[in-house]
């Protein structure tokens, strides 16, 4: 039944050989690889206003413009830096790889840990922001926002377990639809505001500020706005997905991506300023702008729906990239090896399940509120940016290939700028939640190093060398001694006795009965005689009703007589019931006993099944 | 660690021989066996008023008096009936036993199911009522009432797992303290009201009624008040706990119990009438009366605390009686046999855990509100009363011992009166929740019969007869064929190969490797040659990455060649890690494989442990 349900949800298994991806040109590579970056504009401007408006009131809108300029400037620097990464890592240069390659394992792991955390936050932030786009348009859904977000994440988890490939063209549409609806909104908005000079009849009441403009305040706003730049590195990760010339296509895509973000982010910032959009808990800033521009027309709803769709696509990027990253890290033995296994649909099942679960937990803890998740976000992204840029910088210094000085300067600037941003984000958001990330990243790094050590130790211990082989051939010897624990004499335990007889001489077999009631034991002994069973029956009384420990003590007492390396064999009979729930009617003594016995290396446990027909 | 925590919570193990109980005279038997019955007065009067006051306002208090009289009358009938049960069943005559003995298994099971449900409700009702006694006195605790109730139940569960015996004298004190504080309150109250004629300066505002007095209304009120009679049969269950002459002592106790209930229930009803106590969600009726009588003095708090204590004792009765009942029913094979096992402290661990868990669930579902639990309560008690009385009636008719006619009349009246009460309770409370019980009881009966059938079928199938023995000796034969699945060649898998060599001839052993990557398989084959291993290595390719099913298919293909009754042996090596959490670093392929293989009767599975030292 479980198997059928799985098949229905996940689909038929796929063969190893079916693992191939479609290759894209720029037209489809752009929307598919850049949904994460472009969708960030749906919340980045709002985050700036959340900092500025309560602090300085109307003045906020002027400052917002300058901050948006800084962020766009940062974007330009990142684009130039990442073009060089694309050149150097034609097979995909994620921060983990670049940092590990050029700065060593510790920095690689730091980048890896930062990315892991940020992918999870990408899902939580994107989905809650997507839900907010919908609840802004349909306020009656506000009470169900957590439920909606969780349902979407579950839906996406199942979808990705089916092996929804990012490489499907259909995933490009939402990005284009979003771009089109946003550009329409910006152009028509500009037309209304600057040409027709139509302003809202009932202007928004902007609360008076309580602070003055300080550098700290502007830094906080800048840090919040930096969330607009998350997802930029997806293009350099995704080079293998491009058609030849892959690197050239990737670079064109990167430029286009930057242009689009620049236009939409700049445009919505200007419109927010013109309309004095004030962030509130219930209506997003984009929704406020769209309503001012279009009124409650079809286009307003189109903006909201396409915002939702691109945010879901952005979350989906995390669903395809995080499990891949986990598998790369776990192939380096820094994470449990289960992450390297592909499921029946060729997707990395464990990574997908982990991401879905953690995102749901985050959404529930933060009550589905994008704004309260934000302080945790972007720190990780910028740490990985910094490490990746520093790695590239070191690479140029080391390789000294043609034009290395020029290239080192570009990546050096990238490294410095992103590092300054990390400090700015970490410091200004520290008490609001960034401290969690500051603790989590080194914790993850340490854990990953411990995992690696564990695997290394085990590999050393398990390794079969010629010397060990020779030694083993001498030492390992099965001691001719078999114990058959039994509760009563029935067909199941009789079958175990028969099996034991084939393992060794009858005189070396002991049937062991532990009792809490000497009357019952006597009955068993009589039955033993009646059926004329030749195997020796040993009865042990357990005053504390602890059957398992009494059995183990007996086995241990036998073990003391054995040489090191010998194996005593214990034969346990097991009822096999037809339905799993029938197990509640039977003591699981056999299973417990087996589990306890296996803790000792000298004992091999044989399970002889007895299947109940009816 | 888990074992130490268990020891700390539960205490050191006790020997079988330590299972003895103290015996009581009337002085201690009374409080210990009657806490359940006496504590009922803490909520029964209130329940009557919950029905009457909203319906008929001030008139309620007059009617309450008549209803209390009827209930007391019913109590007298029950006392006379149960005196006869005590005579007939000197070893304890619970309803399950009396009904099963005289009316057959089906009625016995119905009584059993009714009792099971009612014991669980006793815990939930008593503990929430006890909490209400405390929150009435300290209103600031009202928001935490669910938490308090749950904490008490958990505390009692742990206490009973330790083997707190009902037979400890200390359990008698709360009952006496409660009796003393209630009698003080009633006497002093009467003195104030009827002699000093002191009435409250600010009389309670009794809401005007909205209905007229109808028979249905009075029946509803009567049914609600019948909760006062729950727990009466505890005395007849507990005869073996009395000192000799046990039956005589039990009968005296029963009379005393009835007198006390009569006095307290009657007394509080009169005081409720005098003070016009109106039931509310936050303050219990007893608390209202006590405050009127004593003011906010020490005595007021004494009443509240002793009420709480006796209610906890009442719940504790269920904790010692239900697991005993479960063990009796499961000895008759109507319930999973785990309920017959005594834990390390000689208590019936499984029954206690079950009761604690279900009571907590009930309390949470009903938000810790005694009043909303009430419609479910008492139906079961009166069904078991009816069955027990009918059973006694049938017994007299059948045995025709001296004076049987006289005795049959008494039990006959008891049976009729309790039956009428069942109908009354069932009908008037049906839509408020009694329907749940009406569905649950037959469901439980059917389930218990299915459990019995399951055990019977298995016993038949497992039975070892001389014929079967002869046949088995011929048929069962271990096929000389051993399969050793392995993932790689290391010390652990090598140990398994060595073990296999001792099971049968080397030429009949196959080492089986399932791969998803033919490159890796080739490496293994080379290593195999390098180490010069003489056992045959079979490699199977799994295109769907489903190692387990590929292994099983291979084993099955071998099985087809075997004769029925033969056993193929599969040797699985198992890493034993030092800490349970280290298991997350290793595939549990071996465990899954073992589990799947054991579903087939022809395969015995040997687990060869390999313990990792570091």
Is the minimum CB–CB distance between B614 and chain A shorter than 8 Å? yes
Query: Please, what's the b/e burial string for A157-166 (b: 16 or more CB within 10 A of its CB; e: otherwise)?
Result: bebbbbbbbb
pLDDT per residue as tens digits for the range A370-426: 888 888 888 888 999 999 999 999 999 998 888 889 999 999 999 999 999 999 988
Residue A125: which pLDDT band, with cuts at 50, 70 and 90? Answer: very high
Distance from CA of B118 to the nearest CA of A (A): 24
For chains A and B, CB pairs below 8 A equal: 178
How far lies A166's CA from each of A150, A248, B149, in Å?
Answer: 21, 21, 52
Given an 8 Å threshold on Cβ–Cβ distance, is A585 in contact with B472?
no
Chain B residues in contact with A490 (beta carbon < 8 A): 462-464
- Decide which of A520 and B473 is more confident: A520
Smallest Cβ–Cβ distance between A609 and the set B469, B601, B611 belongs to: B601
Distance from CA of B53 to the nearest CA of A (A): 38
DSSP 3-state of A314: helix
Give the β-pairing of A603-611 and B603-611.
Answer: antiparallel
Residue A93: which pLDDT band, with cuts at 50, 70 and 90? Answer: low
Contact A445, A99 (CB under 8 A): no
Given an 8 Å threshold on Cβ–Cβ distance, is B546 in contact with A344?
yes
Chain A residues in contact with B569 (beta carbon < 8 A): 606
pLDDT per residue as tens digits for the range A21-32: 667 788 888 888
pLDDT per residue as tens digits for the range B13-33: 777 666 656 677 888 888 888
Contact A132, A145 (CB under 8 A): yes
Is the minimum CB–CB distance between B449 and chain A shorter than 8 Å? no
Compute CA B83 distance to the chain's CA centroid, rounded to the nearest angstrom: 27
Closest-approach residue (CA) in chain A for B582: A454
Contact B42, B133 (CB under 8 A): yes
Chain A residues in contact with B549 (beta carbon < 8 A): none
Contact A63, A218 (CB under 8 A): yes
Given an 8 Å threshold on Cβ–Cβ distance, is B544 in contact with A15?
yes
pLDDT per residue as tens digits for the range B570-594: 999 888 777 777 777 777 788 888 8
Q: How far apart are CA A334 and CA A105, in angstroms?
A: 10
Interface of A with B in 580-599 (CB under 8 A): 582, 584-587, 594, 598-599
Q: Is the pLDDT of residue B478 over 60?
A: no
Is the minimum CB–CB distance between B545 and chain A shorter than 8 Å? yes
Q: Is the peptide bond before B325 cis (omega within 30 degrees of 0)?
A: no
Is the minimum CB–CB distance between A427 and chain B shorter than 8 Å? no
Distance from CA of A61 to the nearest CA of B (A): 46
Given an 8 Å threshold on Cβ–Cβ distance, is A16 in contact with B466?
no
Planar angle of CA A525, A530, A536, nearest 5 degrees = 50
Prediction pTM value? 0.69
Nearest alpha-carbon partner for B74 in B298, B333, B249, B261: B261
Chain A residues in contact with B524 (beta carbon < 8 A): none
Is the minimum CB–CB distance between B333 and chain A shorter than 8 Å? no
Contact B231, B39 (CB under 8 A): yes
Output the pLDDT for position B213. Answer: 82
Nearest alpha-carbon partner for B348 in B336, B360, B340: B340
Query: Beta partners for B571?
Result: B606
**Would you give the DSSP letter of residue A614?**
-
Distance from CA of A325 to the nearest CA of B (A): 18
Planar angle of CA B15, B19, B21, nearest 5 degrees = 150
Nearest alpha-carbon partner for A159 in A319, A324, A399, A44: A319
Helices (H) and strands (E) in chain B, counts: 23, 5
Is the minimum CB–CB distance between B516 and chain A shorter than 8 Å? yes
Q: Is the pLDDT of residue A301 over 90?
A: yes
* H/E element, A604: strand A603-611
Nearest alpha-carbon partner for B64 in B295, B369, B285, B280: B285
Is the minimum CB–CB distance between A603 and chain B shorter than 8 Å? yes
Written in H, E and C, the secondary structure of B538-601 is: EEEECCCCCHHHHHHHHHHHHHCCCCCCEEEEEEEEEEECCCHHHHHHCCCHHHHHHHHHCCCC
Contact B482, B570 (CB under 8 A): yes
**Average pLDDT value for residue range A135-154:** 92
Is the minimum CB–CB distance between B566 and chain A shorter than 8 Å? no
Output the pLDDT for position B287. Answer: 92
Chain B residues in contact with A594 (beta carbon < 8 A): 607
Contact A389, A418 (CB under 8 A): yes
Name the H helices within B11-104.
Answer: 26-39, 41-56, 60-88, 95-103
Output the pLDDT for position B378. Answer: 82
Q: How far apart are CA A513 and CA A497, in angstroms?
A: 13
Contact B501, B533 (CB under 8 A): no
Interface of B with A in 129-158 (CB under 8 A): none
């Amino acid at each position: 039944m479980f198997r059928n349900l799985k098949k229905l949800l996940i689909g038929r298994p796929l063969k190893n050989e079916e693992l191939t991806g479609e290759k894209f040109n720029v037209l489809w590579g752009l929307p598919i690889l850049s949904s994460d970056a472009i969708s960030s504009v749906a919340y980045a401007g709002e985050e700036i206003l959340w900092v500025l408006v309560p602090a300085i009131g109307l003045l906020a809108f002027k400052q917002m413009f300058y901050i948006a300029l800084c962020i766009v400037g940062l974007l330009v620097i990142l684009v130039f830096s990442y073009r060089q990464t694309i050149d150097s890592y034609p097979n995909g240069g994620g921060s983990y790889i670049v940092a590990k390659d050029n700065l060593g394992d510790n920095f690689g792991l730091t980048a890896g840990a930062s990315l892991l955390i940020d992918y999870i936050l990408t899902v939580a932030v994107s989905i809650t922001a997507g839900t907010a786009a919908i609840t802004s348009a349909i306020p009656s859904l506000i009470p169900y926002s957590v439920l909606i977000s969780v349902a979407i994440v579950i839906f996406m988890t199942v979808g990705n377990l089916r092996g929804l490939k990012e490489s499907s063209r259909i995933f490009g549409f939402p990005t284009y639809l979003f771009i089109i609806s946003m550009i329409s909104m910006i152009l028509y908005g500009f037309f209304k505001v600057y040409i027709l000079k139509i302003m809202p009849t009932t202007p928004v009441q902007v609360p008076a500020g309580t602070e003055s403009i300080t550098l700290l305040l502007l830094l906080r706003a800048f840090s919040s706005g930096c969330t607009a730049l998350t997802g930029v590195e997806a293009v350099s990760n995704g080079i293998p997905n491009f058609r030849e010339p892959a690197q050239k296509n990737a670079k064109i895509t990167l430029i286009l991506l930057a242009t689009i973000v620049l236009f939409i982010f700049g445009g919505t910032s200007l419109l927010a300023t013109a309309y004095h959009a004030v962030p509130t808990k219930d209506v997003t800033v984009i929704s406020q702008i769209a309503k001012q521009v279009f009124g409650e027309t079809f286009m307003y709803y189109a903006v909201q729906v396409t915002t939702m769709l691109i945010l879901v696509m952005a979350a989906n990027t995390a669903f395809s990239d995080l499990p891949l990253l986990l598998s790369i890290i776990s192939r380096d033995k820094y994470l449990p090896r289960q992450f390297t296994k592909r499921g029946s649909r060729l997707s990395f099942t464990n990574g997908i399940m982990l991401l879905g679960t953690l995102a749901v937990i985050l959404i529930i803890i933060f009550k589905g509120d994008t704004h309260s998740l934000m302080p945790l976000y972007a720190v990780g992204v910028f740490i990985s940016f910094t490490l990746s840029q520093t790695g590239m910088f070191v690479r140029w210094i080391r390789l000294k290939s043609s034009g290395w000085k020029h290239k080192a300067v570009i990546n050096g600037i990238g490294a410095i700028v992103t590092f300054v941003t990390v400090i700015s984000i970490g410091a200004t958001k520290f008490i609001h939640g960034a401290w969690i990330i500051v603790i989590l990243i080194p914790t993850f790094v340490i854990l990953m190093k411990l995992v690696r050590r564990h695997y290394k130790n085990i590999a050393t211990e398990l390794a079969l060398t010629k010397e060990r082989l020779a030694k083993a051939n001498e030492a390992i010897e099965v001691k001719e001694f078999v114990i058959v624990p039994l509760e009563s004499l029935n067909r199941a335990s009789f079958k175990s006795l028969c099996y034991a007889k084939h393992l060794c001489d009858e005189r070396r077999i002991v049937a062991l009965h532990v009792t809490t009631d000497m009357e019952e034991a006597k009955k068993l002994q009589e039955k033993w005689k009646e059926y004329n069973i030749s195997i020796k029956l040993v009865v042990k009384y357990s005053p504390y009703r602890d059957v398992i420990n009494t059995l183990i003590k007996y086995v241990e007492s036998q073990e003391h007589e054995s040489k090191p390396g010998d194996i005593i064999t214990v034969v346990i009979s097991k009822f096999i019931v037809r339905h799993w729930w029938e197990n509640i009617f039977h003591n699981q003594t056999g299973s417990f006993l087996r589990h306890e016995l296996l803790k000792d290396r000298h004992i091999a446990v044989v399970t002889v099944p007895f299947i109940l027909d009816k």
